[in-house]
């Protein structure tokens, strides 16, 4: 049964579906207003999942997974499918990544464990959030943030290259996300247009951490070939050990080329020819691409890893100077994410929302901080409400382009040159 751990409480596995109610029998209809004065949404839902034949059938055939109602498919991969779903209590839409455990070997299971662990560590406005993990004997369901604006690859294939300002705003957000990953010692290793998503409001989300890895230091060498060949750095094709950050930077260069031109820098009809193109550095930026953007692309697509731009260097480049974030890039991330006083306000608001749904202090726990067990329906509801509260407080406000922003360094150089020029005039006179 999909979401089986919600029905039976195995020893030591945390709260099950049945443990979320007080044992009282309430009406069979989900959301029935006549369930009694002591009923609440959680009691009605759990009772319905135990007694309503239609709902029980939906659980058996996979139309429901735990507290999530499953709808149509929105994507697929080599080992997974992604379906649209929504939480039956909070009504929030989510993306349900479904993995067939029977088709996964030991390496794939290890990779999945890394994906879950790395995604759980990340809370950033430009990174897809993991809400909950639901496991059954045959399947594993990752309940992820739903980004309803489609992916970057589809957008460019349908509409062509991005307009200059849109390209700047989108790429700046991707850079912001990668800076956050690298600061947390996580290397993505599968950056590509298909893994860059948009919300309905235009906020960019870096997704799919299936090939990601966490390293003890950014100078730790890796040796696994990961990702998509068109985005792979030369050192990957040389089958040698490599450093993680420069590999992500190379993929960013390919990504920006695709965004700015609507085509890929390295194109070939076989993997062998593609490998040769990448190793030879055989690409050309169209002359109509603005000079600052060309310089940024070329700074990322340098053959030697040590010669490539650093992420901080790119965030301050000429091309991205007009992009204005609603918060300082080097300070606290956005509202509701790191400021202690605001965190406490958000925590209080989220816990109040959980109580309205029927989750008691016993369900959530009395300890400070959020629930940590990702395989608990309590954690799923908590994280969804937390993310909703953070969004309402402006944490996913999209950057804007503010005219031509002057580089202070250039202004200083102009002033210096003007001073020298006036001194020469004085000497001549």
CATH number of the domain where residue 166 is located:
1.10.510.10
139, 237: one domain: no
Judge whether residue 402 has pLDDT over 60: yes
**Which tens digits make up the pLDDT trace of 101-133?**
888 888 888 888 889 999 988 989 999 999 999
Q: Between 333 and 68, whose confidence is greater?
A: 68
Tokens of 103: 């088709």
Residue 232 has what pLDDT?
94
59 and 106 part of one domain: yes
176 located within any domain: yes
Supply the CATH number for residue 25's domain.
3.30.200.20
Residues assigned a catalytic role:
190
Note whether residue 412 is domain-resident.
no
Provide the residue range defining the domain that includes 366.
1-146+340-395
| Same-domain check for residues 197 and 108 | no
Distance CA 222, CA 91 (A): 42
Q: Are residues 157 and 305 in the same domain?
A: yes
- Residue 162 shares a structural domain with residue 134: no
pLDDT for 176-194, tens place per residue? 999 999 999 999 999 999 9
Q: What is the pLDDT confidence band of residue 5, given thresholds at 50, 70 and 90?
A: very low
Total domain count, the chain: 2
More confident residue, 366 or 230: 230
Q: Taking all residues of the chain, what is their mean pLDDT, rounded to a whole number?
A: 81
Residue 97 marked as a ligand binder:
yes
| Whether residues 170 and 256 fall in one domain | yes
Global pTM? 0.82
Could you tell me if 276 and 374 lie in one domain?
no
pLDDT at 67 over 70: yes
Are residues 160 and 133 part of one domain? no
Same-domain status, 131 and 170: no
Q: Are residues 231 and 376 in the same domain?
A: no
Residues 85 and 193 in one domain: no
């Amino acid at each position: 049964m999909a979401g089986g751990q919600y029905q039976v409480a195995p020893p030591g596995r945390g709260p099950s579906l049945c443990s979320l109610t007080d044992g009282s029998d309430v009406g069979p209809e989900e959301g029935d207003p006549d369930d009694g004065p002591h009923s609440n949404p959680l009691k009605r839902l759990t009772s319905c999942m135990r007694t309503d034949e239609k709902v029980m059938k939906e659980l058996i055939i996979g139309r429901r997974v735990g507290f999530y109602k499953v709808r149509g498919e929105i994507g697929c991969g080599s080992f997974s499918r992604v379906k649209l779903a929504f939480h039956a209590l909070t009504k929030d839409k989510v993306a349900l990544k479904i993995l067939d455990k029977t088709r996964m070997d030991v390496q794939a299971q290890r990779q999945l464990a890394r994906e879950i662990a790395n995604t759980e560590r990340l809370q950033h406005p430009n990174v897809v959030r993991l809400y909950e993990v639901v496991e059954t004997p045959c399947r594993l369901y990752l309940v992820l943030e739903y980004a309803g604006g489609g992916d970057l690859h589809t957008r460019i294939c349908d509409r062509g290259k991005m307009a200059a300002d849109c390209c700047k705003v989108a790429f700046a957000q991707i850079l912001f996300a990668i800076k956050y990953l690298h600061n947390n010692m996580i290397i993505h290793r599968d950056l590509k247009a298909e893994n860059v998503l948009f919300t309905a409001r235009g906020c960019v989300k870096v997704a799919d951490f299936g090939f990601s890895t966490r390293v003890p230091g950014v100078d730790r060498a890796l040796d696994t070939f990961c990702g998509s060949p068109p985005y792979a750095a030369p050192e990957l094709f040389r089958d040698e050990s490599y450093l993680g950050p420069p590999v992500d930077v190379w993929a960013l260069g390919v990504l920006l080329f695709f965004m700015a031109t609507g085509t890929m820098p390295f194109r070939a009809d076989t993997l062998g020819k593609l490998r040769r193109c990448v190793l030879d550095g055989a690409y050309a930026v169209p002359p109509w691409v603005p000079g600052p953007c060309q310089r940024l692309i070329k700074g990322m697509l340098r053959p030697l890893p040590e010669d490539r731009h650093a992420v901080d260097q790119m965030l301050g480049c000429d091309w991205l100077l007009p992009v204005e974030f609603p918060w300082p890039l080097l300070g606290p991330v956005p509202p509701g994410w790191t400021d202690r006083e605001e965190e406490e306000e958000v925590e209080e608001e989220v816990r109040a929302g959980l109580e309205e749904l029927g989750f008691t202090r016993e369900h959530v726990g009395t300890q400070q901080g959020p629930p940590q067990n990702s395989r608990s329906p309590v954690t799923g509801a908590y994280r969804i409400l937390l993310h909703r509260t953070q969004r309402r407080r402006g944490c996913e406000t999209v950057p804007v382009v503010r005219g031509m922003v002057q580089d202070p360094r250039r202004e200083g150089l102009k002033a210096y040159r003007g001073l020298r020029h006036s001194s020469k005039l004085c000497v001549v006179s």
